[in-house]
């Protein structure tokens, strides 16, 4: 059994994010899925990002990172899109991480804005669609390839399609086939760490 800290995307803790957390729980894992927006759900990525910017990106990231306070150190950190930011920072900087799961997003591990090198012994999976205008078009895929090239145990999975939030079954971007495969890969990952 793994204990997971799962961060939602910019539209909030949607029914789809909660369903994904429940699927992991049904497989025997313990999942913490904090609501960073105090119950607010946004109709679009743009509206969610506007809320994040209104609160302040750094303040929102810090709010997310504080969700790890009081939790064990041997967590798997997971995030959907915006949620990858705190998940990746915690996986790279909080001692004891057991693993990391990044959905639709990834940050570089080198350069001015990086959290530093990928930590030794921390496995990671990164999932995105091969024509997602955000994941591919904004460079996240290059960051993912950098991690895969430098980390001991890293996998990048690309799914056919152009949707960003494809594993959220409460949104129009949902892709059932890709989500089934993603979920199976995530459960395999959790079973082996």
Structure confidence at residue 112 (pLDDT)? 83
Whole-number pLDDT of residue 90: 97
Q: Token pair for residue 177? A: 């086939």
Residue 96's nearest CA partner among 71, 60, 132, 126 is 71
Give the pLDDT score at 95. 97
Q: What is the reported pLDDT for 31?
A: 98
pLDDT at position 75 is: 98
Question: Model confidence over 32-90: pLDDT tens digits?
Answer: 999 999 999 999 999 999 999 999 989 998 999 999 999 999 999 999 999 999 999 99
Statement: residue 17 has pLDDT above 90: yes
Q: For residues 172 and 175, what is the distance between their CA atoms, to the nearest angstrom?
A: 9
* Edge-to-edge strand ranges of the sheet holding 99-103: 30-32, 3-7, 76-80, 99-103, 124-129, 154-159
State the Cα–Cα distance between residues 71 and 95, nearest whole angstrom.
12
Which CATH number among 3.20.20.70, 3.40.50.1820, 3.30.160.150, 3.40.50.1110 corresponds to the domain 3-192? 3.40.50.1820
Residue 178 above 90 pLDDT?
A: yes
pTM of the predicted model as reported, rounded to 2 decimal places: 0.97
pLDDT digits (tens, 9 = 90+) for 100-154: 999 999 999 998 879 999 999 999 999 999 999 999 999 999 999 999 999 999 9
**Rounded (10°) CA dihedral 97, 102, 108, 109:** 20
Spatial CA neighbour of 89 closest among 163, 22, 7? 7
């Amino acid at each position: 059994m793994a204990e997971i800290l799962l961060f939602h995307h910019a539209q909030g803790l949607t029914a789809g994010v909660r369903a994904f957390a429940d699927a992991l729980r049904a497989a025997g894992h313990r999942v913490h899925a904090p609501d960073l927006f105090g119950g607010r759900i946004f109709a679009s990525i743009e509206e969610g990002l506007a809320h994040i910017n209104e609160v302040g990106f750094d303040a929102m990231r810090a709010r997310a990172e504080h969700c790890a306070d009081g939790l064990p150190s041997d967590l798997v950190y997971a995030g959907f899109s915006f949620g990858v930011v705190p998940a990746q920072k915690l996986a790279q900087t909080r001692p004891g991480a057991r693993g990391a799961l990044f959905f639709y997003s990834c940050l570089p591990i080198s350069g001015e804005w990086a959290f530093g090198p990928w930590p030794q012994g921390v496995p990671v999976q990164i999932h995105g669609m091969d024509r997602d205008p955000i994941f591919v078009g904004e460079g996240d895929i290059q960051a993912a390839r950098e991690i895969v090239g430098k980390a001991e145990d890293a996998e990048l999975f690309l799914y056919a399609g152009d949707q960003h939030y494809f594993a959220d079954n409460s949104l129009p971007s949902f892709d059932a086939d890709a989500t089934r495969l993603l979920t199976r890969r995530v459960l395999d990952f959790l079973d082996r760490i």
